[in-house]
Amino acid sequence: MKIQDLLNKDVMLLDLQATTKEAVIDEMVSKLSEKGIVTDFDTFKAGIMNREAQTSTGLGDGIAMPHSKNAAVKEATVLFAKSNKGVDYEALDGAPVDLFFMIAAPDGANDTHLAALAELSQYLLKDGFADKLRQVTTPDDVIALFNETEEEKKEEAPAAPAADNQDFIVAVTACTTGIAHTYMAEEALKKQAAEMGLAIKVETNGASGVGNKLTADDIKRAKGVIIAADKAVEMDRFDGKPLISRPVAEGIKKPEELINIILDGKAEAYVAADNTAVNEASTAEKPSLGGAFYKHLMSGVSQMLPFVIGGGIAIALAFLIDNLMGVPKDQLANLGSYHELASLFKNVGNAAFEFMLPVLAGYIAYSIAEKPGLVAGFVAGFIAKSGLAFGKVPFASGGKASLALTGIPSGFLGALVGGFLAGGVILLLKKLLAGLPRSLEGVKSILLYPLLGVLVTGFLMLFVNIPMASINTALNTFLENLSGSSAVLLGLLVGGMMAVDMGGPVNKAAYVFGTGTLAATVSSGGSVVMASVMAGGMVPPLAVFVATLLFKDKFTKEERDSGLTNIVMGLSFITEGAIPFGAADPARAIPSFVVGSAVTGALVGLSGIKLVAPHGGIFVIALTSNALLYLLYIMIGAVISGILFGMLRKAK
């Protein structure tokens, strides 16, 4: 398949009218939807926007390649669009973009179209090709230009193999979706190497798999290695070779700089990390301490949340079943397990909850120290959950204090500390054991790291659990007694936090705190904090709908259409639906969203509404302690935020 087979003349836009990034995307997606290539506008656009959130597909030199491999796509298609004015697309070079290639790839299709998409990058990097594209006036001109350039490519002499006296380097390119940036970086590196008189072999880690895979002989002969990747690639094969690792965007925009670092001997020799295949150095600079903490914490939280969500909703259904089937007043203490069916749901949910803290600690440690940290982290999480501790830690056992290794669980906070502790222990062990002979590398991974990591982390956790259990107990007691002004203030705080960055660190901090309260409160009907968090998170998207409905003259048609989709997102507790509006007008949108979310959170806290499910929005509304009042408070917050946003917004 050639790129000309994917360039559909019926969807080309040779005079784009949009003047902003999102409006450009909307105009192109609308064209694909109009011609039946995309079956669901919102689903496909969401895929495009998610890709843009990772790295701008504005590649520089006036070219952008937004792309998504998406279930809403019927057939692989490339939409070419041209703006006669230029658009601020947040391109990597900061310059306006006037040439757009929107790549729509279907899920589950064969990968022949990916070869054609890789070919597109070869055309775009060819000298003068982009300038010729800017002069086309009809779709037929576009196809003719590609055909003409294809004939010129066939006449070009193939690259000669590396001569004995010629420098030879190898590279690996990879982007998160494996469609566009992967091959653009490949072509940029190959083109630059040819200009510098070098031989190069580039391996692509694309959506269709590994292409042009580097052999052991290639790596042995190479003077150095360039990794231009935004995701993990196989790294251990480069052990001992000079290596530089940068984002894939730098492979596209700075190929000469990367190559010169290798040629000038400025790249450090790579040291394999005990047979793991993770590329930790995907950025040019080390993250800050706060950035590293957040990264490791979110690695653990992202792995933990499925257990919290699955287990929490299963337990919530147990309470719902018992409520529907009826429980005698003298048996209310057994609510959730009184009827056999409810008990089954609760047991399944409890099984998932049992894994919550070990998984959190395990994957925090894994993020810090890779695979060797996993077992030590799991042990730390289990100790936090079970409450093992040294010394006389009081607990309910006949009114006596125990001298055994038993105590009070330190819960979410203990597991969090334990995960970082386990990761730090493994990093320390790696340094201490670094002097062992190479012949013992296998022994380190299989025996020494697991054994010493478990023992050292485990014994340290027996001490750590004592203060963390005290803090956890105090926090749980506070949450159990939450009422009046304390509940209002806490609800106001976490509700407002959900709207500050709508999916960013502040939002995640509030959500993680809310889910952390579930384990201790699920047996008593749920958490007021979790209820405030979810209600606050539902407000911003619903506020967008309110604003676009009441203040139509202040929003474009595309924005009003997007406002309708935000109903579904808001009701589904997908706060991120409001991000485009917050990003486009942060000074007016974000304060408006925060006010409404904070009011909703405070009202939920004031009424003491509890929730046992950590996610689900409207779909788990029956699992709140007062569904009608809960919905009313969400509507109040949405109306407040919507009116504020609409009043502050400038008319279009």
Residue 434: DSSP 8-state = T
pLDDT of residue 619: 76
Q: CA 493, CA 227: separation in Å to the nearest integer? A: 43
Residue 95: DSSP 8-state = -
Segment of 334-343, 368-377, 495-504 carrying the highest mean pLDDT: 368-377
CATH fold of 168-263? Rossmann fold (3.40.50)
Amino acid at 650: K
pLDDT of residue 149: 82
Q: CA 296, CA 580: separation in Å to the nearest integer? A: 27
Residue among 113, 175, 296, 615 flagged as catalytic = 175
Encode pLDDT of 361-415 as tens digits: 999 998 888 788 899 999 999 998 888 877 654 444 444 444 444 567 887 788 8
Lowest mean pLDDT among 351-355, 422-426, 501-505, 529-533: 501-505
The pairing of beta strand 63-64 with beta strand 58-60: antiparallel
60 pairs with which residues across the strands? 63
Question: Residue for token digits 């409207």?
Answer: 618
Q: CA 123, CA 114: separation in Å to the nearest integer? A: 15
pLDDT bin (cut points 50, 70, 90) of residue 165 is low
pLDDT of residue 224: 93
Closest CA to 50 of 66, 33, 34, 32: 66
- Quick check: 260 and 244 in contact, CB under 8 A? no
Q: Please give the distance of CA 207 from its chain centroid, rounded to a whole number.
A: 18
Average pLDDT of span 128-153: 86
Task: Name which residue leads in pLDDT, 367 or 597.
Answer: 597
Q: Is the pLDDT of residue 115 over 70?
A: no
Q: Is the pLDDT of residue 156 over 80?
A: no
Q: Is the pLDDT of residue 261 over 80?
A: yes
Residue among 67, 113, 181, 615 flagged as catalytic = 67
Encode pLDDT of 617-633 as tens digits: 787 788 788 889 999 99
Question: Is the pTM for the entire model greater than 0.95?
Answer: no
* First vs last C-alpha separation in the chain: 44
pLDDT bin (cut points 50, 70, 90) of residue 65 is confident
Q: Is the pLDDT of residue 159 over 60?
A: no
Segment of 47-51, 151-155, 255-259, 322-326 carrying the highest mean pLDDT: 255-259
Residue 115 class from Cβ within 10 Å (0-12 exposed, 13-18 middle, 19+ buried)? middle
pLDDT of residue 281: 39
pLDDT of residue 645: 92
Question: Residue for token digits 């819960």?
Answer: 411
Question: Residue for token digits 């690792």?
Answer: 245
pLDDT of residue 417: 92
Q: What is the dihedral of CA 38, 40, 43, 47, to 10 degrees?
A: 10
Q: Which two tokens stand for residue 361?
A: 């600690």
Lowest mean pLDDT among 137-146, 242-251, 281-290, 467-476: 281-290
Question: Residue for token digits 């337990």?
Answer: 315
Amino acid at 96: P
List b or e across 182-193, with b for residues whose CB sees 16 or more CB atoms inside 10 angstroms: bbbbbbbbbbbb
Amino acid at 645: F
Lowest mean pLDDT among 28-42, 84-98, 480-494, 616-630: 480-494
Q: Is 401 helix (H, G, I), strand (E, B) or coil?
A: strand
Angle in degrees, CA 406, 351, 376, rounded to 5 = 55
Question: Residue for token digits 């031989």?
Answer: 199
pLDDT bin (cut points 50, 70, 90) of residue 176 is low
Average pLDDT of span 168-177: 84
Q: CA 573, CA 547: separation in Å to the nearest integer? A: 18
Which bin fits 526, alpha (ψ -120 to 50), beta or left (φ > 0)? Answer: left
Contacts of 223 (CB under 8 A, 6+ apart): 167, 168, 169, 242, 262, 263
pLDDT of residue 284: 39
Q: Is the pLDDT of residue 175 over 90?
A: no
The CATH homologous superfamily for domain 3-155 is Mannitol-specific EII; Chain A (3.40.930.10)
Q: Is 591 helix (H, G, I), strand (E, B) or coil?
A: helix
pLDDT bin (cut points 50, 70, 90) of residue 200 is very high
Average confidence score pLDDT of the chain: 81
Q: CA 609, CA 621: separation in Å to the nearest integer? A: 11
- Quick check: 192 and 255 in contact, CB under 8 A? yes
**Angle at which helices 255-263 and 181-195 pack, to 10 degrees?**
60
Q: In this structure, is the dihedral angle defined by the CA atoms of residues 185, 190, 194 and 198, taken in order, positive or negative? A: positive
Encode pLDDT of 293-314 as tens digits: 777 887 787 788 788 778 777 8
Average pLDDT of span 218-241: 87
Average pLDDT of span 210-221: 88
- Quick check: 282 and 229 in contact, CB under 8 A? yes
Phi, psi of 516 (to 5 degrees): -65, -25
Q: Is the pLDDT of residue 591 over 90?
A: yes
pLDDT of residue 285: 45
Closest CA to 279 of 313, 247, 251, 242: 247
Q: Catalytic site residue 113?
A: no
Encode pLDDT of 502-561 as tens digits: 766 677 778 878 877 776 676 667 788 889 999 999 999 999 999 999 998 888 887 788
Closest CA to 412 of 479, 347, 313, 325: 479
pLDDT of residue 26: 93
Angle in degrees, CA 382, 383, 386, rounded to 5 = 85
Q: CA 138, CA 650: separation in Å to the nearest integer? A: 37
Q: Which two tokens stand for residue 388?
A: 């093992």
Q: CA 388, CA 421: separation in Å to the nearest integer? A: 16
Residue 10: CB atoms within 10 A of its CB come to 12
H/E element, 169: strand 168-174
Average pLDDT of span 150-169: 63
pLDDT of residue 112: 46
Q: In this structure, is the dihedral angle defined by the CA atoms of residues 581, 582, 584 and 588, taken in order, positive or negative? A: positive
Name the residue ranges covered by the structural domains of the chain.
3-155, 168-263, 289-473, 484-648
Q: CA 73, CA 41: separation in Å to the nearest integer? A: 10
Q: What is the CA radius of gyration of the chain?
A: 28
pLDDT bin (cut points 50, 70, 90) of residue 466 is confident
Q: Catalytic site residue 339?
A: no
Contacts of 642 (CB under 8 A, 6+ apart): 542, 543, 544, 545, 546, 547, 549, 550, 592, 596
pLDDT of residue 394: 47
Task: Name which residue leads in pLDDT, 589 or 569.
Answer: 589
Q: CA 404, CA 192: separation in Å to the nearest integer? A: 67
- Quick check: 145 and 131 in contact, CB under 8 A? no
Task: Name which residue leads in pLDDT, 547 or 165.
Answer: 547
